[in-house]
């Protein structure tokens, strides 16, 4: 009879729990029926009316708590037990220090909470070499032990793992966080880890081991190296991760395994991108203590991330195009002097080199260091200027008819200046000295580089001493046979300059390109890593 009564009581309590579950969904009538059955069974079992009412209140409170937590299993009870009197704004570092070996100088033996850190590099999002900033998509993983979150699985239905929400970034838990998290920050940051990473649950095992992984953007300000070989460069950027508020006496970041992983999913990596992740290294580094706190060093993790650039677009769009334009400029050496397009082609070649340099300069920082493209652009401009100057010199000698290398305009200006100085001296001396100076000035005035019988003819054809060099003149229109003879000599000089430039300038350009390309390693630049 007693066994039947107990079975009846257990059945009644089962109906009561079912009734409470239905009540949470809105079934109040079923709840009343279930509660009645449960009460009757409780009285039949000898529980009494008072004990039945107290049991119903306890069930209601537990059902309401389970409804809030979203879990009607033992997870809810475990979470309530662990978070009871839990301070998410602090960590009991004293309990950690008590487990360490004492000594005569115990302060040197005390170390902070080990926090393992691992970065999974998902892909390169953006690299801005002008502002020296990088944007990487990574998965940030942290692991540490919180003794306040340890429990015995045998006392909690064999549960060995639970989850706690961590919001409001990193560091001591924010308003929405449920547990304490380490204060780790990117030291050379453009944006804090608190805002660049998403919020996520932390997984806690029964030993108190906490594992917290979350995806996001790692945005450092880099001290770039390797840019001197642009566009065949492999850039490297260092990331420094450590605690900002707590020294090594409280927190000690350590590498989780080797400290990093690369890829790991089908969406990882880059395609049709300018930059590709090339290599990653990680080391643990410790900064010495400050003089005011000799017991507290500052451990950090330093990651060195290398990126390779896709150099092919720069070669196709700038380097190869500029080489072709320079070669086209060398074609001026084969064009006849009488062709007006010769001078225009040389000017176009020089302007193209300047335009290419302006376009690339907008993609590079305004720094004092020289890059490979800066040297290449400078060499291209120098050879373009050489072509232009050679063309001007050939045209000048082709039409020259004087026996001096000094242009006639300069000679006439020199004689004019000499005449004015003598005139000024005559005005200052006066008298006989002035008349003598005037006679000498007249002698200078009539000294022209031609014979007397051609003087009048020359004055008719060239009415002004200053305007003569700027007047249009045919290549074969000469005042005397002597001028024609001298012009033939200068034409030989112009032809010799062309013959020399046709071989010397292109050969020098080819040697210059060879010297520039000897430092370029095309096999390791701009190639996406193969997984």
pLDDT in tens, 373-395: 999 999 999 999 999 999 999 99
Residues for the chain: how many in total?
A: 531
Q: What is the DSSP string of 372-403?
A: HHHHHHHHHHHHHHHHHHHHHHHHHHHT--SS
Which pLDDT belongs to residue 525? 52
- Please state the φ and ψ torsions of residue 397, each to the nearest 5 degrees: -70, -30
Shared domain check, 232 and 133 = yes
How many domains does the structure of the chain reveal? 4
* pLDDT at 136 > cutoff 70: yes
Shared domain check, 506 and 361 = yes
For residue 81, the tally of other CB atoms under 10 A from its CB is 12
Shared domain check, 214 and 245 = yes
Last residue of a domain, one of 46, 72, 98: 72
Token pair belonging to 358: 């302006």
Separation CA 404–CA 402 (nearest Å): 6
Last residue of a domain, one of 19, 45, 72: 72
Shared domain check, 391 and 251 = no
Separation CA 174–CA 181 (nearest Å): 10
Shared domain check, 384 and 431 = no
**Averaged pLDDT of the chain:** 78
Higher pLDDT, 176 or 351: 351
Which pLDDT belongs to residue 457? 47
Burial state string for 333-355 with b = 16 or more CB within 10 A and e = fewer than 16: bebebeeeebbebbbbbbebbee
CB distance 282 to 259 below 8 Å: yes
Would you place residue 206 in the very low, low, confident or very high pLDDT band (cuts 50, 70, 90)? very high
For residue 444, the tally of other CB atoms under 10 A from its CB is 13
CB distance 173 to 106 below 8 Å: no
Shared domain check, 233 and 171 = yes
Shared domain check, 175 and 241 = yes
* pLDDT at 67 > cutoff 50: no
118-122, 140-144, 385-389, 471-475, range with the lowest pLDDT: 471-475
Separation CA 458–CA 462 (nearest Å): 6
Across 394-419, average pLDDT: 80
Separation CA 370–CA 398 (nearest Å): 40
Using alpha carbons only, what angle is made at residue 448 by residues 445 and 477, rounded to the nearest 5 degrees? Answer: 140
Asked if residue 343 belongs to a domain, the reply is yes
Burial state string for 98-108 with b = 16 or more CB within 10 A and e = fewer than 16: eeeeeeeeeee
Q: What is the CATH number of the domain that holds 519?
A: 1.20.58.390
Separation CA 262–CA 238 (nearest Å): 16
Would you place residue 138 in the very low, low, confident or very high pLDDT band (cuts 50, 70, 90)? very high
Asked if residue 383 belongs to a domain, the reply is yes
Q: How distant, in Å, are the alpha carbons of 201, 249, 287 from that of 294?
A: 37, 11, 12
* pLDDT at 455 > cutoff 50: no
Across 56-79, average pLDDT: 56
Shared domain check, 158 and 292 = yes
Asked if residue 96 belongs to a domain, the reply is no
Asked if residue 296 belongs to a domain, the reply is yes
The structure tokens 């970034």 sit at 169
Highest mean pLDDT among 47-56, 291-300, 305-314, 443-452: 305-314
* pLDDT at 355 > cutoff 50: yes
Closest alpha carbon to 120 in 107, 138, 137:
138
Asked if residue 94 belongs to a domain, the reply is no
Would you place residue 14 in the very low, low, confident or very high pLDDT band (cuts 50, 70, 90)? very low
Asked if residue 88 belongs to a domain, the reply is no
Shared domain check, 382 and 271 = no
Q: What is the CATH number of the domain that holds 121?
A: 2.70.170.10
CA 260 to chain centre: 20
Domain limits for position 144 = 112-310
Separation CA 332–CA 341 (nearest Å): 9
For residue 20, the 8-state DSSP code is: H
Shared domain check, 208 and 164 = yes
19-33, 245-259, 449-463, range with the lowest pLDDT: 19-33
CB distance 123 to 133 below 8 Å: no
* pLDDT at 46 > cutoff 80: no
Shared domain check, 437 and 325 = no
CA 464 to chain centre: 64
* pLDDT at 28 > cutoff 80: no
Separation CA 175–CA 165 (nearest Å): 11
Asked if residue 92 belongs to a domain, the reply is no
Last residue of a domain, one of 51, 72, 93: 72
Would you place residue 93 in the very low, low, confident or very high pLDDT band (cuts 50, 70, 90)? confident
Shared domain check, 62 and 171 = no
Which pLDDT belongs to residue 104? 43
Asked if residue 81 belongs to a domain, the reply is no
CB distance 179 to 111 below 8 Å: no
Largest Cα span, the chain: 164
């Amino acid at each position: 009879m007693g066994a039947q009564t107990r079975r009846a009581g257990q059945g009644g309590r089962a109906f009561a729990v079912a009734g409470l579950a239905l009540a949470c969904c809105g079934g109040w009538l079923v709840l009343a029926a279930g509660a009645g059955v449960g009460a009757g069974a409780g009285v039949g079992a000898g529980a009494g009316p008072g004990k039945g009412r107290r049991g119903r209140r306890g069930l209601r409170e537990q059902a309401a708590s389970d409804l809030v937590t979203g879990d009607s299993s033992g997870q809810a009870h475990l979470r309530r037990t662990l978070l009871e009197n839990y301070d998410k704004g602090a960590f009991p570092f004293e309990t950690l220090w008590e487990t360490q070996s004492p000594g005569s100088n115990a302060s040197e033996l005390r170390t902070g909470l080990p926090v393992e850190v691992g970065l999974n590099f998902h892909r390169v999002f953006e690299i801005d070499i002008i502002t020296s900033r990088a944007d990487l998509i990574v998965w940030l993983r942290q692991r540490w032990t919180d003794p306040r979150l340890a429990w015995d699985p045998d006392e909690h239905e064999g549960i060995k793992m639970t989850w706690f929400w961590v919001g409001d970034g990193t560091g001591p838990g924010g308003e929405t966080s449920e547990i304490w998290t380490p204060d780790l920050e990117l030291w050379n940051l453009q944006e804090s880890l608190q805002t660049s990473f998403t919020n996520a649950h932390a997984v806690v095992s029964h030993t108190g081991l906490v594992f917290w992984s979350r995806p996001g953007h790692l945005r450092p300000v880099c001290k770039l190296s390797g840019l001197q070989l642009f566009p065949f460069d492999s850039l490297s950027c260092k990331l420094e991760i450590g605690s900002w508020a707590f020294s090594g006496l409280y927190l000690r970041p350590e590498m989780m395994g080797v400290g990093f992983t690369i890829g790991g999913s089908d969406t990882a990596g880059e395609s049709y991108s300018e930059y590709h992740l090339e290599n990653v290294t990680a080391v643990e580094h410790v900064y010495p203590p400050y003089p005011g706190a000799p017991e507290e060093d500052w451990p950090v993790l330093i990651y060195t991330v290398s990126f390779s650039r896709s150099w092919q677009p720069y070669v196709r769009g700038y380097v190869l195009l500029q080489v072709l334009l320079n070669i086209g400029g060398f074609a001026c050496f084969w064009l006849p002097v009488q062709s007006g397009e010769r001078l225009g082609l040389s000017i176009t070649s020089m302007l193209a080199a300047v335009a290419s340099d302006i376009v690339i300069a907008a993609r590079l920082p305004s720094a004092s260091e020289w890059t490979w493209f800066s040297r290449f652009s400078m060499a291209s401009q120098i050879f373009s200027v050489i072509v232009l100057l050679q063309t001007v010199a050939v045209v000048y000698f082709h039409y020259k008819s004087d026996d001096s290398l000094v242009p006639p305009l300069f000679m006439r200006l020199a004689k004019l200046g000499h005449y004015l100085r003598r005139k000024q001296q005559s005005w200052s001396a006066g008298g006989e000295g002035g008349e003598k100076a005037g006679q000498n000035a007249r002698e200078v005035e009539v000294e022209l580089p031609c014979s007397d019988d051609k003087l009048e003819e020359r004055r008719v054809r060239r009415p002004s001493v200053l305007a003569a060099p700027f007047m249009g003149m045919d290549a074969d229109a000469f005042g005397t046979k002597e001028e024609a003879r001298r012009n033939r000599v200068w034409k030989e000089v112009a032809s010799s300059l062309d013959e020399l430039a046709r071989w010397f300038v292109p050969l020098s350009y080819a040697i210059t390109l060879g010297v520039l390309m000897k430092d370029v390693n095309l096999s390791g630049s701009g190639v996406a890593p193969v997984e």
